[in-house]
């Protein structure tokens, strides 16, 4: 079928208007989807990895307590917001809390060994780690005296030469995810110490099956990123680590233990 000149112009104008509508529609959907998932204070929504931009969409929740049903909380928060190809990253802290692996410091009763070792741990504003008698005691219970002693000996020999971090590498068992009471922690957990989640890969797979998207259990703070559990092998772990390098979940009272990672494709 041949089109005259005027018909071609009309068709071209219609096509341009349709494209503009699609762009506006996409933008509107993005605004609608992210209107309640804004970046935390001092953080940005987008971060680039290998030339591709990704949105990190934090989800605010209630203060999650030991007796709460994590699967219910996560499904209610994520299912209405998720899209295909999303990845959910969840703070390891709330997983550990709902597994009963957080303890009030009054109930821990550190040993003399824990009190001694904790004095020599590097202290950081990003978290207390095992630099307290309570968290060191949890580390000893989790890894055992022999492993902790050996790791401490290796660290004592190498640290004077500027080699840091070998303690955690030697002791293993995600001991670096142990955390304790800090002034900025949301109550009542400013009086708690916690272990890392138990069987984090299994926990991630269970949440992934519930949500229908990949799940990562992540330990991110202002010092670094550690992926404790991943639901499947399709997840680009290097990408997740880079996207969370600036700790978009926040370090203090943000109450955003969940974060949807979504590829961002702007329309020009």
CA distances (Å), origin 10, targets 6, 14, 211: 6, 6, 46
pLDDT at 254: 77
38-100+197-263 maps to CATH 3.50.50.60: no
Q: What DSSP character marks residue 110?
A: -
Residue spans per domain, the chain? 1-35, 38-100+197-263, 103-194
pTM: 0.82
pLDDT at 7: 52
**Cβ count near 61 (within 10 Å):** 17
Distance CA 179, CA 13 (A): 61
pLDDT at 97: 96
Contact 233, 263 (CB under 8 A): no
Per-residue pLDDT of the chain (268 residues; tens, 9 = 90+): 454 555 545 545 545 444 554 444 444 344 434 456 688 888 899 999 999 999 999 999 999 999 999 999 999 999 999 999 999 999 999 999 999 999 999 999 999 999 999 998 877 666 688 999 999 999 999 999 999 999 999 988 998 888 888 888 899 878 989 998 888 888 899 999 999 999 999 999 999 999 999 999 999 877 789 999 999 999 999 999 999 999 888 766 678 999 999 999 776 4
């Amino acid at each position: 079928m041949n089109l005259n000149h005027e018909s071609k112009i009309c068709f071209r104008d219609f096509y341009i208007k349709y494209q503009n509508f699609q762009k506006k529609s996409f933008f509107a959907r993005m605004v609608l989807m992210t209107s309640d998932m804004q970046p935390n204070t001092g953080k940005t929504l987008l971060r680039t990895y290998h030339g591709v931009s990704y949105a990190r969409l934090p989800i605010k929740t209630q203060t999650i307590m030991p007796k709460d049903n994590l699967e219910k909380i996560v499904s209610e928060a994520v299912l209405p917001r998720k899209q295909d190809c999303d990845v959910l990253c969840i703070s390891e802290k709330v997983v550990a809390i709902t597994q009963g692996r957080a303890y009030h410091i009054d109930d821990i009763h550190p040993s003399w060994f824990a009190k001694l070792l904790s004095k020599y741990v590097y202290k950081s504003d990003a978290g207390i780690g095992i630099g307290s008698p309570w968290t060191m005691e949890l580390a000893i219970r989790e890894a055992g005296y022999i492993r902790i002693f050996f790791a401490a000996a290796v660290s004592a020999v190498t640290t004077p030469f500027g080699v840091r971090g070998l303690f955690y590498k030697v002791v293993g068992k995600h001991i670096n995810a142990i955390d304790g009471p800090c002034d900025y922690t949301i109550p009542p957990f400013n009086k708690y110490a916690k272990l890392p989640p138990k069987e984090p890969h299994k926990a991630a797979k269970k949440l992934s099956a519930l949500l229908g998207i990949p799940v990562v259990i992540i330990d991110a703070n202002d010092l670094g990123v550690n992926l404790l559990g991943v639901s499947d092998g399709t997840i680009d772990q290097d990408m997740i680590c880079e996207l969370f390098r600036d700790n978009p979940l926040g370090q203090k009272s943000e109450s955003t233990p969940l974060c949807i990672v979504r590829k961002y494709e702007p329309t020009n």
